[in-house]
Chain A
Amino acid sequence: MTAEQMLGTSLLLGAFVLLAGCYGLLYCLGRLRASRRLGRAAAAAYLLQGITAGLLALSSLDLWWKALLLASFVAFVAIPPLTWRFLERLHEPQEHHS
């Protein structure tokens, strides 16, 4: 790996996780405010994460790491909605009480 490749790949890796965070945050805010615009912004963040994953697939990382990144990209899509649904179900009895 050359110096340029190292720098580019590491920045892409950081962006990959940061965009996952943006996607999660925007998804939650969209659900909280019932806002379609925020929902679309969340989808855009996830799309950008996908582009980052695509660029990482073209990087000089070993095939094994590329496969892992693509797999985690797929996993990231489910985390916010699943966590949200789980939290709603968990909070339901308390909200009924109050």
Chain B
Amino acid sequence: MFRSQQLALKYFAAAMTLFGIMVVAGLLASTYYIHDGFLLNTLDFSVAKMLHIDTMIIWLLMGFIGSVYWFLPIELERETEGIKLAEVLFWIFCAAVAVVAAVFILVQYGPATEMSLWFINQGRKYVEAPRWAAIGITLVVLVFVYNVVATAIKAKKITGIIGVLMVDLIPLFGLYLIAFPSITNLSEDQYWWWWLVHLWVEATWEILIGCIMALALMQLLGTARRIVETWLYIEVALVLGTGILGLGHHYFWIGTPDYWLSIGGFFSALEPLPLLGMVVHAVYDAGAHRMKTTNKPAFFWVMAEAFGNFIGGGVFGFMMTLPQINLFTHGTQWTVSHGHFAFWGAYGCGVIAVIYLALQKSRACEQLDGTVWKWSFALLNIGLVGMVGALLVAGIAQAFYERAMGGSTLQAFMQGQANVWFVQGMVMRVIFGVIFAVGYVALMYDLLTIGKRRVAVAGVKPRVARGPA
């Protein structure tokens, strides 16, 4: 195994740990809605929510970085250039994340001074990490970019996938720089902040996961390079074509000119079209290979990604993206429902699929199957669908009673929060959140013990999968 792949396994371990912290913080954050005053002045809602969404960003980012470190030496047939630096930065990255989390939990907030921005919290959702840590993340990404580009140059080989990846890394790095400024005009601040959040999530990350999935499909199903690369180019064109100006749907109601309503609505309406193409591709691949693979968990997680992306991003997004509807749904639990489903479908499932692929190789398992992964797959997905369903009900109640009927007054807000549909939606969200958490435990058990426990594969006598060479 290459050192780059050993580093990838460390990144995967860190990603899955952060995934667990995200789940715990999410459960905490959801409990505040059903128990007023829960952990008040000890660990306020704002802190739990911050931990939840920041760890979500970081676990996915670590998953992506790990995936690239895993596939890069296979793709370019050589060790990753600058791997020592990457290894050092991995530990710095982990230490920085731990310190930031500790500051969030223990210090929480500070005075409105530069010192707070540098050492406590930058105060911008999703990128709250204090400035010193944000600089650290920038360094990690910069070294990651160097690793990819330098390895390709040294190998004198730029495949189609690596070419797309290299171009994609420029905005991945560049857009993060928007995390730094502290603009005092809220509209202006939101305007640029959405560049980071939307263009990372609906453009840069989409391309990144597209590259990772292309590499994964070659390993998982033995799909020809020509096929995955052609499909990747089409996906890049469609995702960027609809996704970049789809940015406009975040520009509703933040003080931007009203032409953004038309631009945002139009391009958002086009976004489900490429997602449907991806569903067709997934079904075609599943049929072409007659569901036969040596790594069933990875295969099912790849399938879950195609469908999750379509339903979470396409269906749930389209329900609320046209400006006339969005006027009422913006910023309600309805949005939260869409966000949960879309992130899980588009990215979470893909990262888990790659981790299964990597573990199969690193632990030299000829075939991956069994029962535990099925439990984790079912519990995580049932938990997730239940959560987003409950959030949807709560969000509809908010949009209906608080916004459309109540006119968004403070009184309407309070009535909306007390509405029976909202309250029950929030209770159901916690219940399904617990199911999701149990699925996470099963997933971790499976990942930790793959290749180390007895496995039963259909038609094959139970045997001990071979351990690491």
Interface residues of A (CB under 8 A from B): 1-3, 6-7, 9-11, 13-14, 16-18, 20-21, 24-25, 27-29, 32, 60-62, 64-65, 68-69, 72, 75-76, 79-80, 83-84, 87, 90-91, 93-94
Contacts and interface: CB of A to CB of B under 8 A. Distances in A.
B281 A87 contact: yes
B277 A17 contact: no
B333 interface: no
B402 to A, nearest CB: 10
B230 interface: yes
Contacts of B316: 14
B284 A28 contact: yes
Interface in B388-427: 396, 399-401, 404-405
Interface string B308-321: 00110011101110
B400 A17 contact: no
Nearest 4 A-B pairs (CB), nearest first?
A: A3-B404, A28-B283, A32-B287, A14-B319
Contact of B276 (A6, A21, A64, A65): A21
A6 B310 contact: no
B311 A18 contact: yes
Contacts of A3: 328, 400-401, 404-405
Q: A interface, by DSSP: helix, strand, loop or mixed?
A: helix
A7 B396 contact: yes
Interface string B371-400: 000000000000000000000000010011
A61 B325 CA distance: 9
Contact of A20 (B272, B281, B328): B272
Interface in B216-257: 223-224, 226-227, 230-231
Contact of B404 (A6, A24, A27, A75): A6
Interface centre among A11, A75, A94 (most CB of B within 10 A): A94
Given A14-B318, A14-B319, A68-B265, 10 more contacts: A3-B328, A7-B400, A16-B318, A18-B311, A20-B272, A27-B280, A62-B324, A68-B269, A76-B273, A90-B227
A10 B328 CA distance: 10
A34 to B, nearest CB: 11
9 contacts: A3-B405, A11-B319, A17-B272, A17-B314, A29-B283, A32-B284, A65-B322, A72-B273, A90-B227
Contacts of A24: 276, 279-280, 283
Contacts of A62: 324
Contacts of B224: 93-94
Nearest to B320: A10
A87 to B, nearest CB: 5
Interface centre among A13, A16, A27, A93 (most CB of B within 10 A): A13
A17 B318 contact: yes
B401 to A, nearest CB: 8
A9 B328 CA distance: 12
Given A1-B404, A7-B400, A13 B322 contact: yes
Given A6-B328, A6-B404, A87 B284 contact: yes
B284 A13 contact: no
B80 interface: no
Nearest to B287: A32
B449 interface: no
B280 A28 contact: yes
B281 A83 contact: yes
Contacts of A87: 280-281, 284
B227 A21 contact: no
A6 B269 contact: no
Contact of A1 (B270, B273, B280, B324): B324
A69 B272 CA distance: 12
B288 interface: yes
Given A3-B400, A76-B273, A79-B277, A25 B283 contact: yes
Nearest to A21: B310
B131 to A, nearest CB: 40
Contacts of A14: 315-316, 318-319
B266 interface: yes
B227 A94 contact: yes
A36 B277 CA distance: 22
B279 A18 contact: no
A25 to B, nearest CB: 6
A9 B325 contact: yes
B276 A13 contact: no
A12 B266 CA distance: 17
A28 B320 contact: no
